[in-house]
Amino acid sequence: MGGPGPGRMASARRARRPRASALSSLAAVALCASLPPALGAGAAGAGLATGGECAAEIFPSVGVDRVRFEGPSSRSALAYRFYDADRVVRGRRMRDWLRPALAFWHTQRGTGADPFGQDTRSWEWGAPREGDDQRGVDAAKRRVLAHFELMELLGLDLWCFHDRDIAPVGATFAETVDNLREVVDYAASLQRSERFNHVRVLWGTAQLFAEPHYMNGAATSPQPEVFARAAAQVKEAMDATAALNGTAYVFWGGREGYQTLLNTDVALELDNQAALLRMAAAYKDGHASERFRDAQLLIEPKPQEPTKHQYDWDTATTVGFLRKHGLEGSYKINVECNHATLSGHSCFHETELARLEGMLGNVDANQGDPQVGWDTDEFLTDVTTATLLGLSILRNDGLYPGGINFDAKLRRESTTPLDLVIAHVSGLDALARGLLAADALLEEGHLDSLVRERYAGWNADGGSLGARIRRGEESLESLAEMALAGGADGIEAQSSRQELAERYLSYAL
């Protein structure tokens, strides 16, 4: 039987997932014993609470114990129609092609606030409770556990985080570091538990844009002390990622740019940004964790917002910057689809350009609203976008050690955990449907054939004009001589057959 359809969702909101007390005593003990001491006195202790109830079940029930694959005919909002994790596509499981990851920031810390309105939601498990510590660490640990339980519900193994989202800021940098280390130790202990030992981090990052001292930039700040603080924060975030078995680490420079050129030393700021990236690469390569030395460093381009101009504007700009500073061997690109459209490109443009440069490393799966000119971070549900993304992933032979994370948030008007689950089900289904459609496009071969035919004159095999040009056997003089002799007269531009290409795409959708 599938999960509840739309007509049964209201009652599902009020239902609670059966806790361990509904199991046999031995099963309850096994479930709770597999978890570390969890949430402190303010969360009813750890292990077994009174009545044999496990204190670690805190994400509310949505009516199903797990979202399962039911197939395209399903009409359950709480079942996958296309995401069949172990389905083999081109010799690899779907879960391994997509490597989907649950993002901590929007999922656990999103409040529904926007520039014109206050919070519209808060999750009960993250609210302060009687007996919580004053630092906010107990509440932070509850959010981590709720995040893991949501992953379990969705059937996911990977997650990603900003350092300031998983742990509270302290009165000093040292206190903040202590808070982060404590929460990371707790998350690591969860990952070692029997229940969650399949979970690991896809990537982590340092939030270098929200705190007031970063208002003029982090690596690009005019103050060396701010650069030093950012460097220290990056080190701690990298250590946290390593402790959680992360396979990648991301830089997103939301404040690395300018509001006006009148007061900006662009050359100095770009050199300083490269310096921090160079330090991070050196630290990773010599890290105490041998596993983390193999992690992939990533840069996530965005053209603007919050700065008027961000230095890593798009993939092409970022690739050029990395090559100028000799960093192309250390970093790849994390393409965010909504950032692509903000820069005037499609997501497919950005993933293909990164792929062709050998630098496609990760994807933030989301989409913007074409009627709204800012970064709305909606869940990617557009099938065409997902299919073209699937093409890039298949052509790239996957994204490992990167993957796809849901950098997407609920709409302001959506306020329940059920909404949160449905949004992720829809997003993952769209990615899976796109992957399958992309596989069908490649299997049929119509698009590839069309492209080969269009560029047939450039075939490098043989003695054709195009082949000679590509081999460097022609010059301006030789080509001018050919043209003057009439060799270029009577040219008729051939049809691009764009409509046919779009028709081929539509067959797979």
Q: What is the DSSP letter of 490?
A: T
Residue type, 213: H
The answer to whether 406 touches 100, Cβ cutoff 8 Å, is: yes
Strands (E), 41-146: 68-69, 79-80, 88-89, 92-93, 100-103
The dihedral built from the CA positions of residue 26, 29, 33 and 34, taken in this order, carries a sign that is: positive
Which pair of tokens denotes residue 195? 């229940």
Nearest by Cα to 202 from 166, 236, 245 = 245
Q: Rounded to whole angstroms, how far apart are CA atoms 215 and 270?
A: 17
Helices (H), 130-223: 137-154, 163-166, 173-192
Question: Is residue 53 classed exposed, middle or buried when 0-12, 13-18 and 19+ CB atoms within 10 A define those classes?
Answer: middle
162 is catalytic: yes
Q: Which of 162, 339, 349, 424 is catalytic?
A: 162
Which pair of tokens denotes residue 443? 């299997």
Q: Rounded to whole angstroms, how far apart are CA atoms 147 and 479?
A: 64
The answer to whether 406 touches 366, Cβ cutoff 8 Å, is: yes
Angle 137-154/417-444 helices, nearest 10 degrees?
40
Residue with structure tokens 């192309």? 328
Please provide the DSSP assignment of 258-304 as one string.
ES-GGG--HHHHHHHHHHHHHHHHHHHHT-S-HHHHTPEEEE---S-
Query: What's the half-sphere exposure (Cβ side, CA atoms, 13 Å) at 12?
Result: 21
Q: Is the peptide bond before 401 cis (omega within 30 degrees of 0)?
A: yes
Spatial neighbors of 423 by CB under 8 A, at least 6 apart, are 379, 408, 410, 414
**For the chain, how many residues are written?**
509
Nearest by Cα to 136 from 164, 116, 162 = 164
| Catalytic positions, written as ranges | 162
